[in-house]
Structure 1
């Protein structure tokens, strides 16, 4: 059975129109691999709830949610774009985000990658992040 990767459409945030072409943005990619396949749906549903508040999230440029339902594993995550790292950290610290992380943390493994890049276009950001999600590029390894 082949791997199936799905992604939502771009969901702009309040800073989407303020980002000039070429401006530095922070790109974040998360991946949550569930220990049990049936948990993928509840994780994805939680992500969709957070997506509803995205248009009011300070510093948010845009986001995509993604899910991979395949024979080897079930995983889901997000690709997010921010005007600055402190806005990403503010989102991670939000009570609704922390609640979801706590609810699912024992049900799988989470990893993330963050980098800065010039914002040339939504598709350029998406393509670079999608390389991680699709396995075309390796995930960065944390060094102590």
Structure 2
């Protein structure tokens, strides 16, 4: 699986330390904890030819990231050989995530590709910001084997 670098959002400073950890995310000591929601999305394209356009749109949408209220940060990911791609995004709450989902740019991407594949998503809840745990849980959910998705003590799933 290929992953983009961590893209911090405006709310990210409240959750990360000054010392960067893996992928440029704040280190193990966090400036503050608090409840967070993480959205993990997984899009499987019907055809390889759609992947370049999906990637282009995803990176274009990521450019808005530093200006989105409640955005802590995010990674984009892709498994080109499986025709799959998606994101792992971290939010201060459900209201911030809902605001992103309603953005005209996000709606346009969903409208353009909705009928060109299958999408699934999950919202995970956390008591604090632990980038390594978030990535581990997201990777476990993204695994193709249903028996491993709930493994490793993943937090509650909602929505």
TM-score, normalising length: structure 1: 0.86
- Which residue of structure 2 lines up, in the alignment, with residue 111 of structure 1? 120
Q: Distance in 1 between matches of 2:2 and 2:32?
A: 27
Write the mapping of 1:44-83 to structure 2, written as runs, cut at 5 A: 44-70=55-81, 73-83=82-92
Residues 1-144 of structure 1 aligned to structure 2 (within 5 Å): 5-19=1-15, 20-70=31-81, 73-135=82-144, 137-138=148-149
CA contact (8 A) 1:21 1:121 kept: no
Instruction: Provide the rounded CA distance (Å) in 1 between the counterparts of 2:128 and 2:57.
Output: 28
**For each residue in 1:65-121, what CA deviation from the matched residue of structure 2 results, as whole angstroms up to 9, or x when unmatched?**
000022xx3010000000000100000000010011101111111110002112242
Aligned Cα root-mean-square deviation (Å): 1.9
Count of residues paired in the alignment: 135
Residue 21 of structure 1, CA deviation: 4.1
- Higher relative CO (CA 8 A, sep ≥ 6), structure 1 or 2? 1
Deviation of 1:135 after TM superposition, in Å, equals 3.7
Q: Quick check: 2:143–2:149 contact (8 Å CA) kept in 1? A: no
Structure with bigger strand share is 1
Question: In structure 2, how many angstroms separate the alpha carbons of the residues matched to 1:84 and 1:75?
Answer: 26
- CA separation of 1:13 and 1:118: change in aligned 2, threshold 3 A: same
